[in-house]
């Protein structure tokens, strides 16, 4: 059975009503991904006939109607203008994490021969993009989740960075003994009881929740930065965690602490330098 693209677009929009925020746009994105075509093609081929009984299309519509994120259906995500593989084993990279990369690249010389450690590598996007911009840096990327590491391994191989990014499983820095020049992390930072949109329930819960208050992992990382005298720590955080980070750091002498905001002008992370007694 076939239908015109525009009719199928209307049908899918109906199925997504009340479930996703912009059903018409989401239906368009689903169809573009299914067809492997861009928006121009979509607009100019509205009368093309599409087989609406294709099992893959039916499965995508059914799962999207349950609010499974499109990225988990297509296994593709775009980050920092590059394509990455993603599945339910890792968090879907968020656009705001691009700011974390920008903030690091503003402060690190492109030729630096440094050791970078990432905690919570997830799909690998942060270490991979940084490795592409810092060709002389070595990377150790840690995650507590084997499933996340499997996603990162796949992306690292796709960019041929196996020699430069070493993956390790472990809790925070427990698997890292080497001196660290730069620690970077987008840790889980949501409080356990925070009300969340339903689409987040498909993402790994240990990628989202940072503890009862939310900033527990950030605080543990700050302790590590202090104990190991790590020169620079770049960290993403929740929009409402700036005060908590400042409060916690009152216990330490720091050379500089700079917060940065995202596109919505919300606090989104910080760069800490020179923690000492």
Ligand X SMILES: C[S@@+](CC[C@H](N)C(=O)[O-])C[C@H]1O[C@@H](n2cnc3c(N)ncnc32)[C@H](O)[C@@H]1O
Q: Shortest CA distance to 115 belongs to which of 270, 254, 275, 231?
A: 231
Helical (H) or strand (E) element with 77:
strand 76-79
Answer yes or no whether residue 148 interacts with ligand X by CB under 6 A: yes
Q: Shortest CA distance to 187 belongs to which of 139, 143, 232, 130?
A: 143
Distance (Å, whole) CA 230 – CA 129: 21
Answer yes or no whether residue 214 interacts with ligand X by CB under 6 A: no
Q: Which of 137, 207, 232, 275 binds ligand X (CB under 6 A)?
A: 207
Q: Site mask, ligand X, residues 87-106, x = CB under 6 A?
A: ---xx-x---x---------
Measured from the CB atom, the residue of 13 and 97 that comes closer to ligand X is 97
Q: Site mask, ligand X, residues 39-78, x = CB under 6 A?
A: ----------------------------------------
Answer yes or no whether residue 206 interacts with ligand X by CB under 6 A: yes
Q: Shortest CA distance to 65 belongs to which of 9, 33, 23, 6?
A: 23
Answer yes or no whether residue 172 interacts with ligand X by CB under 6 A: yes
Q: Which residues pair with 235 in a beta bridge?
A: 185, 270
Q: Would you say 180 and 117 are in contact if contact means Cβ atoms under 8 Å apart?
A: yes
Q: How many chain residues bind ligand X (CB under 6 A)?
A: 24
Q: Which residues bind to ligand X, rule: CB under 6 A?
A: 90-91, 93, 97, 119-123, 125-126, 142-145, 148, 171-172, 186-188, 204, 206-207
């Amino acid at each position: 059975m076939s239908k015109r693209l525009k009719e199928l677009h209307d049908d899918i929009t109906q199925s997504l009503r009340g479930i996703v925020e912009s059903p018409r746009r989401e239906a368009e994105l689903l169809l573009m991904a299914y067809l492997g075509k861009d928006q121009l093609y979509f607009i100019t081929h509205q009368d093309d006939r599409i087989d609406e009984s294709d099992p893959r299309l039916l499965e995508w519509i059914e799962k999207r109607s349950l609010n499974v994120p499109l990225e988990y259906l297509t296994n593709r995500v775009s980050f920092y203008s590059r394509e990455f593989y993603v599945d339910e084993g890792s968090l879907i990279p968020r656009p705001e994490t691009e700011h974390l990369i920008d903030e690091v690249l503003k402060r690190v010389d492109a030729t630096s021969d440094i050791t970078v450690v990432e905690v919570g590598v997830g799909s690998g996007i942060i270490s991979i993009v940084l490795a592409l911009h810092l060709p002389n840096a070595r990377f150790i990327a840690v995650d507590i989740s084997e499933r996340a590491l499997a996603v990162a391994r796949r992306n690292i191989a796709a960019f041929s960075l196996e020699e430069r990014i070493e993956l390790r499983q472990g809790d925070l820095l427990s698997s890292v003994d080497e001196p660290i020049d730069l620690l970077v992390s987008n840790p889980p930072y949501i409080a356990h009881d925070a009300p969340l949109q339903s689409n987040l329930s498909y993402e790994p819960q240990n990628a989202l929740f940072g503890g009862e208050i939310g900033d527990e992992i950030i605080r543990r990382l700050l302790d590590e930065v202090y104990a190991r005298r790590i020169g620079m720590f770049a960290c993403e955080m929740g929009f409402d965690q700036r005060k908590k980070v400042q409060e916690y750091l009152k216990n330490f002498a720091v050379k500089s602490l700079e917060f940065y905001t995202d596109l919505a002008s919300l606090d989104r992370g910080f760069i800490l330098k020179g923690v000492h007694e």
